[in-house]
Amino acid sequence: MRVFVLDSNKKPLNPCHPGKARKLLNQGKASMFKRYPFTIILKEEKPNHVNNKFELKIDPGSRTTGLAILSANNLIWAALLNHRGLQIKDSLLSRKQIRRSRRNRKTRYRQPRFLNRKKPKGWLAPSLMSRVHNIITWVKRLTKLCPINKIAQELVRFDTQKINNPEISGIEYQQGTLFNYEIREYLLEKWGRRCAYCGIQNVPLEIEHIIPKSKSGTNSVNNLTLACRKCNLAKGNQDIKDFLSNKPSILNRILKQCKQTLKDATAVNSTRWKLFNSLKEFNLEIETGTGGMTKYNRTKQGLEKTHWLDATCVGKSTPEKIKVEVIKPLIITATGRGSRQMVKPDKYGFPRTSPKLRQKQFFGFQTGDIVKAVVTKGKKVGTYVGRVAVRKTGSFNIKTAFSTVQGINYKYCKPIHKADGYSYAT
């Protein structure tokens, strides 16, 4: 993965090979500007040579978003951005329940007032807006580190017109080049990429009609599922109730799931235009594409199914052959910047801790900083790298990739990356 380079005026230059960056650091011609993503800054002012065209591609997801930067036919940088939308939803629900319980205990009954509670036009729930804010934050950061001149976004996960039944849309539009990719991608997401009857994974799956067409079944996506070759042949044109008569639990699950919508896909569809309009503010060329087109491009390239490789294949501008320089993407997880809640309550809503201090920094460290602690004596001798939780006493906790180490004195800690609302891994 390439290393971002800034000139002495903090303007982005062409990213360089890690070997060249290491050479510049060893020769003292550059110093480390940022650890995540790794960026160096040149010490001497040089003419700005920005010749390549860099394109940032985004594959938005409900839980994880893929980011990729392409230079011509080369994939030079990639990342996985993990969102915290579900965590925000749970926190808001907990706060709502505690407030309602407290008000029921301490205030007289009053009629609910809803007419004076109006949401502004275009309002989205905080759990959805956090996804948009996370992506916009990283687009801002990357445009400051790399001379990006184009953005490609997967605007819609599924083209709903292409998956309507043929009686509604014309046959010429219905059966285009991407038709099978739209249908198959929708079903793979809906049925968890496994056979609906036996649950097997990592085998070729076939599209199967729950109610056979010979028994008045339709081509609607609510009547389609995925089955392995063995189960598809065994079912044949039987009614699903006859085929699964001895397996009532599987039958009930399939009949229930076939009517369900995609929760994650709905979250992505709810935020797609908000994200698109926010990206317009960068005044860069913007390209959009569908999820079916992304899969079509990825299949032609012979790439694996991952979010960051999906991002590489977004849009019609995807090159015919991509050279992947990235071995492991940067894993970015949204952690937030703390909580404004002063006291933690118990399950009944009563305070169970003393009010927290308003001071955030102790001994030059703040909760969320990434530190390296080299402990030379005591029971915890060793080297620990991870996010730190500060204490007024100077005894910190460090959350590493494997466990949480408690009681590390601040004197052993050395800052690597200041808290910015995200944690990182490779």
pLDDT, tens digit, 9 for 90 and up, residues 343-372: 888 877 788 888 877 788 899 999 999 999
Is the Cβ–Cβ distance between 314 and 153 less than 8 Å?
yes
- Spatial contact of 423 and 335, defined as CB atoms under 8 Å apart: yes
pLDDT at 180: 57
Give the Cβ contact number of residue 236 at 10 Å: 9
* pLDDT confidence bin for 70, thresholds 50/70/90: very high
Which one of 102-106, 262-266, 277-281, 288-292 scores highest in mean pLDDT? 277-281
Name which residue leads in pLDDT, 31 or 176: 31
- Please, which pLDDT band fits residue 69 given cuts at 50, 70 and 90? very high
Look at domain 160-257 and name its CATH class: mainly alpha
Residue 109 has pLDDT above 80, yes or no: no
pLDDT band at 188 (very low <50, low <70, confident <90, very high): confident
Q: State the CATH class of domain 361-419.
A: mainly beta
Q: Which sign does the torsion angle of CA 270, 272, 277, 281 carry?
A: positive
Q: Which residue in 73, 58, 78 sits closest to 322, CA to CA?
A: 73
Prediction pTM value = 0.77
Arithmetic mean of pLDDT, 91-105 = 85
